[in-house]
């Protein structure tokens, strides 16, 4: 009889229908429809899923008003913000019939416990029935109050039924110690700032040396103009130019992908821009959110798959085209006459003591007599890593360090103690100031032997090439067969102290130990920083739609930045410890280690985020669109594909990427890593007149330019690509933020290269090639995502067990294919670049403009010139910032003569210092100010 009455009710609903409301075209009898559906649900539970679909077919708009005490099966037809009538103002999830679907009713406060015993509290602000709101509660009371019966681990129960953190005094103690340390640091900085200026001359010298170290136009030795196009101009060699081209390519790619997604959304459905961004909240809203999200995602999946396929093909082909373009740019730059254009690398030399006089002349004579070409000189690579400190001391001994004793106007014991500590530290930085004993250099050279390599410098590039052609099969030198090949690196990019003759197995062993250190750092970071954050998120109470506030987001951003910075420092130390001969090889190793370590860092973050999201969604009672609780899903793929997890992971990935990873680590770089360190160094130098030139230059010198940007950018690209695994609401935002962040990084590096970092030359494309290799797994993520999202949509339907294997196979297959094309196909499209002008320049002309030559960059060569060969004007050792001390001696290949260079100066800033201000500027009328 009830079923007949229900059918009659449905018929009456259709008969009286026809009027519309402002929100939804609902007939006046739509409430009767609700009652009819509710009756159908109670009589025939298997029709529960049919009711909402019948409802949705009648009403094209969302249902915004709900009846009282009627059980409604929720789906996408309901408005997420629908409110209950005033006499039954609370949403209650109906658990009375044990149905698997999200069923809600509008009830009065007294009815909350009857409809859902687990949510007996009536929350007037949220308009819902919820559970007890107690952070850290494991088993809440069910008496309708916000109180707890049993608290979770690391919490203790209070007499009022609340939970408070145990050992809270530890957190207060840590906060107090941190606060005291911060106050001490601030007090020390204030003390530095208020000290009298007693070493303005030393500050002048240090700033002048810092200024001379910067990149300068070799034609006039002036700073490069601000508007220099670093994508086309070789300021620091072709390797640096390729770096800027890569950054620019990522900006264009990210902007194109983001704009393409927006255009697709407006052509197909703007829900693509909202899907996954609607916030969760009350139990009612969460049920409607899942139903809406799943149905919309499935309805628009064809558009996403089409766009994903287009992005995959465009990115894959674009990365190969980018690799070809980079090779051509390198070829075009390689035709220019730089130091390496005149040099050939000889390998296979016997071990010769550095005290022997005729090593260079004998090798030069053999090569010249066999080839008929003019040889300027030979620079032998010596094994002196074990005595590097002594060599540096001999080369950079400062006999002009001030020893004047400036009266101390402050007589307080604290001031004297701080000054003494600083002086002790500065003496360690300065090294020994004792005058080297007579014959110390010769004694040291007797313990140094040559490596198996040397650089032969020819007068012209054409002469070098003819000599290589003549000696293509090698030649004999002192009973050893040696080979000769064109030099691939510039003198600035060679670590001369690392020619220690160690075999590759030693370097691999050092690298393995370094990887263990990286893993240890990763585990330490996870235990010290990440686990406390995860614990605080998991013990947060989300009842009634509560979400962690901005403090949690700030802590998460700080944790991500700390993780990235710690990996940066560890990887840099490991790369230095391996002992590579060339700076490009060190930078490539550093980039690979940093990319892998930060990728592991990100994978750990994402894994923890998944488990936290799953635990939170389970706590909030989320179900699948079919009404199955998340805890009853047996497989990872099923859980991962549940819309509640998809939405939470998409939001977490976006928040992880921006600003935590994309932008925050780089925002503080100009103020802290550049300006802050310079300011601290200036404050120390100006108050210590006893400081020598070496310590002054060390404190005021800028950090070298490193290629960690490659790894950062590749990681950012991988994070942006990963967003395709999740609903599309954040897709355009993450790519737009990537483009903006990379544009900022490009501008930051542009400024650092032109105005901050010491000059260095990156002559090979080794770093960029490894970057192209690491692009393969990033592109492979798109292939894996296409398989994952296309399951049961692209003509195949794999089981949950096999889907992950298929994604992994697609990722690996793409990497293999990408690398094969990169190694064997891309070079085929590259042809030898033709020089725009004939090679008429000689070595003398290039060496006259470049202070760092094959001879001046070699420390042992300079010591031999002075103490073994006893040249009247010995070969000057190249020290960045002291170019003006270098002397010309054409007979030994030294041609560089310093010109007047505009430098940063502090002599005119005396009044600014007295007002506790520092102003850096370029004074065009200032003479060179350098350390003697």
Burial letters 351-389, b for 16+ CB under 10 A, else e: ebebbeeebbeebbebbbeebebebbbbbbbbbbbebee
408 pLDDT more than 70: no
Which range scores top for mean pLDDT: 366-370, 496-500, 502-506, 791-795?
Answer: 366-370
- In a domain, residue 554? The reply is yes
Name which of 459, 476, 386, 412 is nearest 843 in CA terms: 459
Confidence at residue 528, expressed as pLDDT on a 0 to 100 scale: 84
Host domain of residue 705: 200-212+235-336+501-829
- Under a CB-based contact definition with an 8 Å cutoff, are residues 830 and 323 in contact? no
Give the three-class secondary structure for 71: coil
Name which of 135, 95, 137, 99 is nearest 112 in CA terms: 95
* 788 plus 876 within the same structural domain: no
The number of helices, as runs of H, and strands, as runs of E, in the chain is 30, 16
Which range scores top for mean pLDDT: 153-157, 806-810, 911-915, 919-923?
Answer: 806-810
* 871 plus 765 within the same structural domain: no
Give the three-class secondary structure for 178: helix
Average pLDDT over residues 307-315: 97
**What DSSP state is assigned to residue 669?**
I
* Sign of the torsion angle spanned by Cα atoms 617, 622, 624, 625: negative
Confidence at residue 431, expressed as pLDDT on a 0 to 100 scale: 65
- Under a CB-based contact definition with an 8 Å cutoff, are residues 94 and 38 in contact? no
Give the three-class secondary structure for 110: helix
- For 105, the enclosing helix (H) or strand (E) is strand 103-107
| 439 pLDDT tier (thresholds 50, 70, 90) | confident
Which range scores top for mean pLDDT: 62-76, 255-269, 848-862?
Answer: 255-269
- Under a CB-based contact definition with an 8 Å cutoff, are residues 329 and 231 in contact? no
- In a domain, residue 592? The reply is yes
The pLDDT tens digits for 518-563 are 999 888 888 888 888 888 777 777 765 566 767 777 787 788 778 8
Average pLDDT over residues 786-808: 92
| 782 pLDDT tier (thresholds 50, 70, 90) | very high
CA-CA-CA-CA dihedral for 96, 101, 105, 110, to nearest 10: 40
39 pLDDT more than 70: no
| 99 pLDDT tier (thresholds 50, 70, 90) | low
| 62 pLDDT tier (thresholds 50, 70, 90) | confident
| Phi, psi angles (nearest 5°) of residue 835 | -70, 140
C-alpha–C-alpha distance, residues 19 and 41, integer Å: 27
* 875 plus 756 within the same structural domain: no
479 pLDDT more than 80: yes
Confidence at residue 22, expressed as pLDDT on a 0 to 100 scale: 33
* 736 plus 815 within the same structural domain: yes
* 848 plus 784 within the same structural domain: no
* Sign of the torsion angle spanned by Cα atoms 21, 23, 26, 28: negative
Partners of residue 223 on adjacent β-strands:
216
* 687 plus 543 within the same structural domain: yes
- Under a CB-based contact definition with an 8 Å cutoff, are residues 357 and 869 in contact? yes
- In a domain, residue 225? The reply is no
Confidence at residue 434, expressed as pLDDT on a 0 to 100 scale: 61
Confidence at residue 96, expressed as pLDDT on a 0 to 100 scale: 77
Task: Return the minimum-mean-pLDDT range out of 105-119, 410-424, 594-608, 782-796.
Answer: 410-424
Name which of 267, 244, 257 is nearest 736 in CA terms: 257
Mean pLDDT of the chain: 83
- In a domain, residue 576? The reply is yes
* 326 plus 358 within the same structural domain: no
Last residue of a domain, one of 114, 131, 148: 131
Name which of 10, 93, 85 is nearest 47 in CA terms: 10
* 806 plus 849 within the same structural domain: no
Confidence at residue 472, expressed as pLDDT on a 0 to 100 scale: 92
C-alpha–C-alpha distance, residues 681 and 701, integer Å: 9
**What DSSP state is assigned to residue 925?**
T
| 4 pLDDT tier (thresholds 50, 70, 90) | very low
* 242 plus 376 within the same structural domain: no
- In a domain, residue 530? The reply is yes
* 295 plus 259 within the same structural domain: yes
- In a domain, residue 143? The reply is no
Last residue of a domain, one of 131, 158, 180: 131
Confidence at residue 435, expressed as pLDDT on a 0 to 100 scale: 62
200 pLDDT more than 90: no
- In a domain, residue 155? The reply is no
Give the three-class secondary structure for 77: coil
For helices 504-525 and 550-578, the axis angle rounded to 10 degrees is 160
52 pLDDT more than 90: no
28 pLDDT more than 80: no
- In a domain, residue 769? The reply is yes
Confidence at residue 530, expressed as pLDDT on a 0 to 100 scale: 80
789 pLDDT more than 60: yes
Q: At 353, which CATH number?
A: 3.30.70.330
Higher pLDDT, 196 or 272: 272
| 2 pLDDT tier (thresholds 50, 70, 90) | very low
Burial class (CB in 10 A: 0-12, 13-18, 19+), 348: middle
User: Could you please report the per-residue DSSP string of 607-668?
Assistant: HHHHHHHHHHHHHTT-B-TTS-BGGG--SHHHHHHSHHHHHHHHHHHHHIIIIIITTHHHHT
* 808 plus 874 within the same structural domain: no
Average pLDDT over residues 743-767: 92
Instruction: Tally the domains of the chain.
Output: 3
- Under a CB-based contact definition with an 8 Å cutoff, are residues 558 and 552 in contact? no
56 pLDDT more than 50: no
Radius of gyration of the chain (CA): 36
pLDDT > 70: percent of the chain: 85
For 230, the token pair is 């670093």
Average pLDDT over residues 221-249: 92
Confidence at residue 931, expressed as pLDDT on a 0 to 100 scale: 40
Name which of 294, 308, 301 is nearest 641 in CA terms: 294
Average pLDDT over residues 862-883: 90
Task: Return the minimum-mean-pLDDT range out of 343-347, 536-540, 611-615, 777-781.
Answer: 536-540
User: Could you please report the per-residue DSSP string of 236-265?
Assistant: S-HHHHHHHHHHHHHHHHHHHHHHHHHHHH
C-alpha–C-alpha distance, residues 12 and 383, integer Å: 99
What's the first-to-final CA gap in the chain, in angstroms? 108
C-alpha–C-alpha distance, residues 854 and 381, integer Å: 10
For 429, the token pair is 């930085």
The pLDDT tens digits for 127-167 are 899 888 888 888 888 888 889 988 888 888 888 889 888 88
Last residue of a domain, one of 100, 131, 162: 131
Task: Return the minimum-mean-pLDDT range out of 21-30, 745-754, 877-886, 888-897.
Answer: 21-30
* 347 plus 319 within the same structural domain: no
Partners of residue 105 on adjacent β-strands:
92
Confidence at residue 11, expressed as pLDDT on a 0 to 100 scale: 36
Burial class (CB in 10 A: 0-12, 13-18, 19+), 4: exposed
């Amino acid at each position: 009889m009830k079923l007949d009455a229900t059918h009659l009710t449905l018929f009456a609903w259709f008969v009286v229908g026809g009027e519309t409301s402002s929100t939804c075209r609902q007939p006046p009898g739509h409430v009767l429809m609700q009652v009819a559906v509710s009756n159908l649900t109670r009589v025939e539970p298997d029709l529960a899923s049919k009711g909402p679909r019948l409802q949705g077919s009648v009403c094209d708009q969302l249902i915004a008003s709900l009846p009282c005490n009627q059980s409604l099966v929720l789906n996408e037809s309901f408005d997420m913000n629908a409110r209950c009538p005033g006499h039954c103002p609370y949403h209650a999830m109906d658990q009375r019939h044990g149905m698997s679907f999200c069923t809600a009713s509008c009830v009065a406060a007294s009815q909350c416990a009857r409809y859902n015993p687990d949510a007996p509290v009536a929350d007037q602000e949220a308009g819902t029935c919820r559970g007890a709101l107690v952070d850290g509660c494991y088993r809440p009371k069910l008496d309708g109050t916000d109180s707890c019966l049993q608290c979770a681990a690391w919490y203790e129960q209070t007499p009022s039924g609340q939970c408070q953190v145990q050992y809270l005094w530890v957190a207060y103690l840590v906060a107090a110690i941190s606060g005291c340390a911060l106050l001490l640091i601030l007090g020390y900085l204030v003390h530095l700032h208020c000290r009298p200026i007693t070493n303005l001359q030393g500050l002048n010298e240090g700033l002048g040396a810092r200024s001379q170290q910067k990149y300068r136009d070799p034609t006039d030795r002036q700073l490069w103009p601000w508007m220099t196009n670093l994508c086309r101009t070789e300021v620091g060699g072709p390797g640096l130019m390729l770096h800027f081209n890569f950054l620019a390519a990522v900006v264009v790619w990210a902007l194109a992908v983001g704009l393409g997604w927006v255009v697709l959304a407006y052509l197909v459905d703007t829900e693509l821009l909202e899907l996954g961004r609607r916030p969760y909240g009350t139990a009612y809203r969460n049920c409607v959110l899942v139903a809406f999200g799943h149905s919309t995602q499935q309805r628009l999946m064809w558009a996403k798959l089409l766009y994903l396929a287009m992005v995959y093909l465009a990115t894959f082909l674009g990365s190969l085209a980018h690799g070809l373009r980079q090779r051509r740019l390198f070829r075009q730059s390689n035709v220019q006459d730089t130091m390496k254009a005149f040099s050939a690398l000889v390998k296979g030399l016997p071990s010769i003591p550095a005290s022997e006089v005729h090593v260079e002349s004998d090798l030069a004579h053999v090569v010249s007599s066999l080839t008929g070409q003019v040889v300027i000189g030979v620079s032998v690579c010596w094994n002196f890593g074990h005595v590097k400190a002594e060599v540096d001391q001999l080369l950079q001994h400062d006999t002009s360090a001030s020893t004047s004793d400036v009266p101390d106007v402050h007589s307080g014991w604290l001031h004297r103690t701080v000054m003494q500590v600083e002086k002790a530290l500065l003496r360690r930085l300065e090294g020994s100031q004792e005058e080297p004993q007579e014959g110390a250099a010769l004694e040291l050279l007797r313990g140094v032997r040559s490596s198996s390599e040397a650089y032969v410098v020819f007068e012209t590039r054409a002469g070098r090439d003819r000599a290589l052609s003549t000696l293509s099969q090698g030649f004999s030198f002192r009973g050893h067969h040696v080979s000769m090949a064109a030099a691939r690196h510039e003198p600035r990019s060679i670590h001369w102290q690392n020619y220690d003759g160690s075999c590759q197995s030693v370097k691999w062993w050092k690298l393995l130990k370094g990887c263990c250190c990286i893993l240890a750092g990763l585990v330490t970071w996870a235990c010290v920083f990440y686990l406390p954050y995860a614990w605080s998120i998991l013990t947060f109470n989300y009842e009634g739609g509560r979400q962690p506030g901005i403090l949690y987001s700030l802590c998460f951003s700080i944790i991500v930045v700390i993780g990235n910075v710690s990996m940066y420092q560890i990887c840099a130390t490991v790369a230095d410890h391996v002992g590579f001969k060339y700076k490009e090889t060190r930078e490539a190793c550093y980039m690979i280690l940093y990319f892998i370590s930060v990728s592991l860092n990100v994978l750990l973050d994402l894994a923890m985020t998944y488990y936290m999201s799953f635990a939170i969604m389970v706590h909030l009672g989320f179900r699948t669109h079919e009404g199955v609780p998340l805890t009853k899903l047996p497989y990872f793929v099923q859980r991962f594909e549940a819309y509640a997890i998809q939405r939470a992971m998409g939001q977490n990935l976006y928040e992880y990427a921006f600003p935590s990873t994309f932008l925050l680590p780089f925002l503080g770089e100009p103020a802290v890593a550049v300006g802050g360190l310079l300011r601290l160094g200036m404050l120390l130098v100006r108050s210590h007149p006893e400081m020598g030139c070496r310590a002054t230059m060390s404190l005021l010198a800028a950090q070298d330019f490193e290629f960690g940007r490659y790894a950062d950018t590749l990681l950012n690209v991988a994070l942006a690509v990963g967003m395709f695994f999740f609903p599309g609401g954040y897709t355009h935002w993450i790519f737009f933020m990537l483009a903006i962040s990379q544009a900022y990084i490009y501008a930051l590096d542009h400024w650092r290269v032109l105005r901050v970092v010491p000059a260095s030359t990156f002559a090979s494309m080794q770093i960029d090639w490894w970057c192209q290799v690491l692009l393969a797994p990033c592109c492979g993520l798109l292939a894996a995502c296409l398989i994952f999202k296309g399951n049961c949509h692209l003509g195949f339907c794999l089981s949950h067990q096999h889907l992950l294997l298929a994604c992994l196979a697609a990722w690996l297959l793409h990497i293999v294919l990408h690398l094969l094309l990169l190694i064997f196909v891309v070079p085929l499209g590259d042809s030898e670049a033709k020089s725009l002008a004939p090679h008429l320049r000689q070595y003398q002309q290039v060496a006259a403009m470049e202070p760092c030559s094959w001879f001046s960059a070699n420390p042992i060569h300079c010591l031999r010139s002075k103490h073994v060969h006893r040249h009247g004007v010995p070969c000057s050792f190249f020290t960045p910032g002291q170019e003006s001390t270098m002397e010309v001696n054409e007979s030994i290949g030294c041609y560089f003569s310093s010109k007047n260079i505009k430098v940063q100066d502090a002599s005119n800033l005396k009044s600014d210092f007295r007002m506790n201000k520092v102003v850096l500027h370029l004074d065009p009328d200032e003479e060179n100010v350098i350390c003697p």
